[in-house]
Amino acid sequence: MTTVAIDFGTSNTVVSILESDTQLPKTLRFPNLSSLFVGVSAEGERLEIPVIPSLLYIKSDHQVILGAGVRSQRLGLSQSYPPERLFKKFKRDLAGDYQPPARHIEGINYDSLGVSELFIQRIWTEIKKQNIQPSHLIFTVPVGAFERYLDWFRSLGEKLNVPQVSVIDESTAAALGYAVKHPGALILVVDFGGGTLDLSLVRTVANASENLRAEVLAKSEAYTGGEDIDVWIVEDYLRSQNLTTEQVGKISYQNLLEIAERLKIQLSRNESVAESWFDDESFMSYELKITRKKLEEILEYRQFLQQLRDALDEVLGFALRKGFAKNDIEQVLLVGGSCLIPAVQQIIISYFGKNKVKLNKPFDAVCHGALAVRQFTEIDDFLRHSYAIRLWDAYSKSYTYHCLFAQGTKYPCESDGWLNLQVANHGQREICLDIGELGAMAQTEIAFDASGRMTSSNLQYQECYRSLDSQHQQVCVAKLNPPGEARVDRISVLFYVDSRRILLATVKDLLTGEILVDRGEIYKLR
C-alpha cells in the first residue's frame, strides 16, 4: 500500500509517491499525459520534472484527452479542434465563488466541478495502471482556499475509495518537506503558481524521541498567478496593434495565449524574446515580442508585484507579533512557475538577501513535501479566514454577521461566550444557521492614458462572505418544542473548533433549560 500526493495546479499538476524501499518521494510520469519540464535552478542545477499540464479536451463521441496530449495534438487551436471543447484554468474556476456556465457538448453539460473531477479521476486511473495501490491520498490546496473548495476534495477522495484522505496547504507542505532534513529550522515558502500566490512561515521542532512537530506561524495569499500574466501579455500586444479579442477570434486568441506562455518562460533566461505565428485560417500573421523590462512594467501596473510585496509584509507582520524577526528566517524557498520570473526573484531577494533564497524544486517541492506530513506527530495551525454566522435582521430587512472565530485563531479553541438566538417567525419549530467564512479579495482598475501608457489604481481589499455549505443550505442546530415566539431569545449556543478542525456546538433551550445538542458536529473545517 502506498501514499500518493496530488498537487492539483491551475497550470500544471504533479503526482508523487513514497517509494516503498527507500521511503523517498518520487514524481510519477504518465505516457501521453506528462510533459518534461527542463530548466536550470538558481543554483545552476539541471531540472527535469514530469508535470501534467492542467488541460482537458473533449473530442467527438466524448473522448477525453488530458495534459500533454492536448498540446501535442494542438487541440483547441484550429477549426478542426475548436476552442469551445478546450478546458483550462478549471481549478481556479472550481475554487471561485461564482462558477462559469456549463458548456453543452454533444448533449452533455461540462462545468468546472465535473471537468475537475474527470481530470483527477483519469489521472487516478493512470496511477492504478502503474500497479500502485494507494492507501493514503494527500491533496494540496491554496493557503486561502475556502472550505467549500476543500470539502470537494473530501468528497472526491470518497469517490476514489481511498482509505485515508488528507488535505494540506501547498506552501506549508513544501516547508514540511524541507524541514524533514532540517529539523529546528524557521522556513518561509513562497509558492507562486499559475493561479495563486501562497506563503507559509513554519517552525519545526524535534523532541527528545526525535519526533517532529511543526508550528505554522504565519500565512498569506493572493488570487493571482502565471495564467493572468499570459492574458496580460496578449492584451498588451492586441492593444499595441489596435486589435480586439473579437477581431482576432477565439482560435487566434488561444494561439496567442500559448505563445505568451512560452515567451514568459523564455524570459527567465533571456532579456528579449519573440515568436511569429501565421494563422492559415484567417490569413493573419502575428509576432509577439517582449522584453524583461516590458514584462516588469506589465506586472507593476497590473499590481502583480504589489500583491507579492503586500503578502510578504503581512507574513512578516504576523511573525513579528509572535516574536520572530525577518532575520530569524533561515531559508526562503521559492516554489511554482511564477517564481522563475526574474522580477519576482528580485523582490524576494531584496527582502531577505540572496544567500537565504533557494529555487531548486519549483514544480515538485509541494507534492514531495505533502508526503512528509506523515512524519510529523503534530502540526499546529490556525484559521486563515474568520468564521461568522449570517443572521437576518427583521427590523432592517438585511443580513448581519456575528464573528465566531477571528482570522489567525489557533485551534483547538472556543468562542468568546454563549450566543443567544431568536426565531425569525412566530411558531417556528427549528432554528437554522448559515455559517460561513469572511475573507479579503483584492481588486484594482487598469486604464490607459492618451499616450497608451498604463495606469492603475491602488489595490482595494474587499471583505466577502462565503457559506460553508456548497448548496447554500443553512445548518439546522435546534428542534424546538414548544415552537418559538418571535422577538424572544429561545436558544443559546457555544461554539468550539477541536484539534481535528471540526466545528462543534452546544445548544441550550432557554425556555425549557434542556441541552438540545452537546458538542455536536456542525461542520468539518478542512
Domain 226-302 sits in CATH 3.90.640.10: yes
Q: What is the mean pLDDT of residues 214-241?
A: 91
pLDDT for 422 beyond 70: yes
In a 3-state reduction of DSSP, which class is residue 38?
Answer: strand
The DSSP secondary structure of 442-495, one letter per residue, reads EE--EEE-TTS-EEEPPPEEEEEEEESSTT-PPEEEEE-SSPP-BTSEEEEEEE
Burial 73-88 (b: 16+ CB within 10 A, else e): eebbbeeebebebbbb
Name the CA dihedral angle for 413, 418, 419, 421, rounded to a multiple of 10 degrees: 140
Cell numbers 509577439 label which residue?
Answer: 288
Please state which CATH number belongs to domain 3-225+304-372.
3.30.420.40
- Using pLDDT thresholds of 50, 70 and 90, give the confidence band for residue 103: very high
Q: By the 8 A CB rule, do 454 and 301 touch?
A: yes
Secondary structure (DSSP) of 118-158: HHHHHHHHHHHHTT--EEEEEEEE-TT--HHHHHHHHHHHH
Q: Enumerate residues 6+ apart whose C-beta is below 8 A from 96.
A: 112
Q: N- to C-terminal Cα distance for the chain?
A: 25
Per-residue pLDDT averaged across 311-325, rounded? 93
Q: Based on C-alpha coordinates, what's the Rg of the chain?
A: 25
- Range with lowest mean pLDDT among 177-181, 281-285, 351-355: 281-285
Q: Please write the tens of the pLDDT for every residue from 136-171.
A: 999 999 887 767 787 889 889 999 999 999 888 898
State the average pLDDT over residues 312-335. Answer: 94
Helix (H) or strand (E) holding 175: helix 170-179
Query: Contact at 8 Å (CB) between 441 and 221?
Result: no
Tell me which of 62-66, 89-93, 256-260 is least confident. 89-93
* Tens-digit pLDDT profile for residues 48-76: 889 999 999 999 988 999 999 999 999 99
Domain ranges of the chain: 3-225+304-372, 226-302, 382-524
Cα dihedral value 448, 453, 458, 459, nearest 10: 80
Has residue 363 got a pLDDT over 60? yes
Lowest mean pLDDT among 270-279, 292-301, 470-479: 470-479
Do 495 and 416 touch, CB atoms closer than 8 A? no
HSE toward the beta carbon, residue 39, CA cutoff 13 A: 22
Model pLDDT, residue 526: 42
Rounded (5°) CA angle 457-460-463: 160
Average the pLDDT over each of 32-41, 182-191, 266-275, 459-468 and give the range with the smallest value.
Answer: 459-468
pLDDT of residue 431: 86
Which position has the grid cell 526574474? Answer: 342
pLDDT (0 to 100) of residue 388: 87
Please give the Cα distance from 519 to 526 (Å, whole number): 18
Under the banding of pLDDT at 50, 70 and 90, the label for residue 498 is confident
The CA distance from 126 to 34, in Å, is 11
Structure-model confidence comparison of residues 389 and 103, the more confident one: 103
Whether 275 and 262 have beta carbons less than 8 Å apart is answered as yes
58 CA to centre of own chain? 25
Counting beta carbons within 10 angstroms of the beta carbon of residue 427, is it exposed (0 to 12), middle (13 to 18) or buried (19 or more)? exposed
**CB of 524 closer than 8 Å to CB of 387:** no
Report the pLDDT value the prediction gives residue 446, as an integer from 0 to 100.
42
User: What are the start-end ranges of the H helices in 24-67?
Assistant: none
Of 22-36, 300-314, 427-441, 477-491, the one with minimum mean pLDDT is: 427-441
Q: Report yes or no: 190 and 218 within 8 Å, Cβ to Cβ.
A: no
- 392-395, Cβ contacts within 8 angstroms, sequence gap of 24 or more: 392/424, 394/424, 394/486
Degrees to nearest 5, angle at CA 343 with 222 and 175 = 55
pLDDT-wise least confident of 86-100, 274-288, 314-328, 468-482? 468-482
pLDDT given for residue 41 in this prediction: 56
Fold of 382-524: Substrate Binding Domain Of DNAk; Chain A, domain 1 (2.60.34)
Quote the mean pLDDT of the chain.
Answer: 86
Grid coordinates given for 159: 469517490
114 vs 21 pLDDT, higher one: 114
